[in-house]
């Protein structure tokens, strides 16, 4: 598979999994976290499929397309090692979906990220909430959700925090 084909698969898988999880969440209340605003592509899609929800986007810097930048109340700027630990005062409810899109392309950096990110994601996710991620995470008490048939092969995973 060429890198172009792999990139196309990744994007289609990301879109398919986010839409699948949006269906599973239905009307369950709660905000959405976008971990890695980047260019704002997936943020733009999230606000299309979750038009009624608060979406909080996190990134160390704002580099998104001008039309895809959340307002100041919903944009959390800084290193997520700090911001995810310290943003509780501005975010009242735990998220029903955490979308992790932080792949660096460097396997060692990605492993390092998994180590510090996993406990923060586990701490934030609502009971019964979902995590769509571009990398495996270590999430005790979560189950892995089967991918829908339309999702092409990609590294993405969907986890759900078990209730109770």
Ligand X SMILES: C[S@@+](CC[C@H](N)C(=O)[O-])C[C@H]1O[C@@H](n2cnc3c(N)ncnc32)[C@H](O)[C@@H]1O
Closer to ligand X by CB, 38 or 128: give it: 38
Q: If we measure between CA atoms, which residue out of 72, 79, 118, 78 comes closest to residue 98?
A: 118
Which of 9, 60, 94, 136 forms a contact with ligand X (CB under 6 A)? 60
Closer to ligand X by CB, 96 or 134: give it: 134
Binding-residue pattern over the window 40 to 59 for ligand X, x denoting contact by CB under 6 A? xxx---------------xx
Q: How far is the CB of 163 from ligand X (least distance, A)?
A: 28
**Contacting ligand X within 124-163 (CB under 6 A):** none
Binding-residue pattern over the window 11 to 40 for ligand X, x denoting contact by CB under 6 A? -------------------------x-xxx
Binding-residue pattern over the window 63 to 102 for ligand X, x denoting contact by CB under 6 A? ----------------xxx-------------------xx
CA-CA distance, 61 to 10, in Å (whole number)? 24
Q: How far is the CB of 115 from ligand X (least distance, A)?
A: 12
DSSP class per residue in 29-67: ---EEEE--TTSHHHHHHHHH-TTS-EEEEESS--S-GG
Count other C-beta atoms under 10 Å from residue 71's C-beta.
Answer: 6
Q: How far is the CB of 132 from ligand X (least distance, A)?
A: 11
Which of 6, 69, 103, 152 forms a contact with ligand X (CB under 6 A)? 103
| Rg of the chain, C-alpha, whole Å | 15
Count other C-beta atoms under 10 Å from residue 4's C-beta.
Answer: 8
Beta pairing, strands 32-35 & 97-100: parallel
CA-CA distance, 53 to 74, in Å (whole number)? 11
What is the binding site for ligand X (CB under 6 A)? 36, 38-42, 58-60, 79-81, 101-103
């Amino acid at each position: 598979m060429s890198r172009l084909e792999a990139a196309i698969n990744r994007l289609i898988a990301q879109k398919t999994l986010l839409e699948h999880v949006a269906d599973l969440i239905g009307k369950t209340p709660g905000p959405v976290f976008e971990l890695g605003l980047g260019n704002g592509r997936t943020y733009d899609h999230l606000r299309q499929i979750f038009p009624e929800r608060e979406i909080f986007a996190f990134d160390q810097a704002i580099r998104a397309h001008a039309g895809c930048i959340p307002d100041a109340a919903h944009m959390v700027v800084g290193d997520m090692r700090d911001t995810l630990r310290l943003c509780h005062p501005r975010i009242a409810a735990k998220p029903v979906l955490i979308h992790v899109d932080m792949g660096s392309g460097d396997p060692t950096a990605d492993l390092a990220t998994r180590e510090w990110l996993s406990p923060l994601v586990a701490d934030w996710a609502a009971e019964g909430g979902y995590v769509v991620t571009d990398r495996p995470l270590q999430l005790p008490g979560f189950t892995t959700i089967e991918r829908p048939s339309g999702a092409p092969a990609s590294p993405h995973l969907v986890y759900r925090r078990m209730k109770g």
